[in-house]
């Protein structure tokens, strides 16, 4: 999990949130059932597109890239059943994969990638995510979202193997220039926010630097 930053609220939400909420309150008052369309207005394409940009098109919780097979669920950080005010609140919306979304259900008080600093709350040992033992919140989040579920660990292992292959090819290079270009794949590109499992990859690269296997950055050239 990585830190996410809220983007400006989409115009459609700014213009309509109050009336969308009011429509639901009116149903409550009148004892009538809201339609699916009225309940799911947070799913408007203009809202979702900003959320996808905000989450780097990954699950906000497990950092999986899934968009090639699945559109992704709009996730309510505080469950929407807690009240009408949470259903269309911009600060309460994000994107999650279907498994994290289902695992989370109506659980509350978990690590919030917008408000918390996830990279300070979780460590990585190979493909395993280890919550900071001093943090009940992180420990509960790992359990609730099943962040070490088999399918995720398997996919993170594949990701680590791919990073390790880049390292091997880079270290085998005799040409210094090519070697640094390949190492920058690891040091820069593969750990960017939009890379899958960026938090884990950062741990991997940081470990290589700490152990002196690679330098933190390319040496200055004389050119």
The binding site for Zn ion (CB under 5 A) comprises: 59, 61-62, 97, 100
Least gap, CB of 85 to Zn ion (angstroms):
26
Least gap, CB of 173 to Zn ion (angstroms):
36
Integer Rg of the chain from CA: 21
Least gap, CB of 202 to Zn ion (angstroms):
18
Give the contacts of 41 (CB within 8 A, at least 6 positions apart): 16, 20, 88
| Token pair of 27 as six digits | 């149903």
Q: Within 13 Å of residue 197, how many CA atoms lie on the same side as its CB?
A: 25
Closest to Zn ion by CB, 20 vs 122, is: 122
Q: Where are the alpha helices (DSSP H) in the chain?
A: 11-30, 36-39, 45-54, 84-87, 98-104, 118-121, 136-145, 150-172, 176-187, 198-210
H helix and E strand count, the chain: 10, 4
Closest to Zn ion by CB, 182 vs 199, is: 199
Closest to Zn ion by CB, 42 vs 61, is: 61
Least gap, CB of 36 to Zn ion (angstroms):
25
d(CA 222, CA 141): 49
Closest to Zn ion by CB, 20 vs 61, is: 61
Query: What are the distances in angstroms from CA 91 to CA 51, 77, 97, 115, 145?
Result: 11, 9, 19, 10, 21
Least gap, CB of 97 to Zn ion (angstroms):
3
Least gap, CB of 1 to Zn ion (angstroms):
9
Closest to Zn ion by CB, 61 vs 122, is: 61
Closest to Zn ion by CB, 65 vs 130, is: 65
For helices 176-187 and 198-210, angle between their N-to-C axes, nearest 10 degrees: 130
């Amino acid at each position: 999990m990585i830190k996410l930053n809220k983007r400006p609220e989409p115009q459609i939400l700014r213009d309509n949130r109050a009336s969308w909420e009011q429509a639901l309150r009116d149903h409550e008052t009148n004892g009538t059932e809201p339609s699916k369309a009225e309940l799911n207005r947070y799913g408007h394409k203009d809202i979702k597109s900003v959320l996808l940009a905000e989450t780097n098109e990954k699950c906000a919780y497990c950092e999986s890239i899934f968009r090639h097979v699945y559109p992704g669920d709009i996730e309510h950080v505080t469950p929407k059943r807690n009240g009408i005010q949470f259903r269309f609140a911009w600060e309460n919306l994000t994107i999650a994969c279907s498994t994290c979304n289902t695992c989370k259900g109506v659980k509350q008080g978990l690590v919030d990638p917008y408000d918390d600093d996830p990279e300070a709350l979780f460590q990585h040992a190979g493909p395993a995510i280890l919550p900071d033992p001093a943090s009940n919140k992180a420990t509960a989040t790992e359990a609730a979202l099943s962040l070490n579920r088999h399918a995720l660990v398997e996919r993170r292992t594949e990701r680590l193997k791919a990073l390790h292959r880049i390292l091997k090819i880079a270290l085998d290079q005799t040409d210094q220039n090519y070697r640094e270009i390949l190492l920058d794949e690891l040091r820069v590109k593969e750990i960017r926010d939009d890379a899958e499992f960026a938090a884990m990859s950062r741990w991997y690269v940081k470990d290589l630097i700490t152990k002196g296997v690679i330098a933190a950055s390319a040496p200055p050239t004389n050119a």
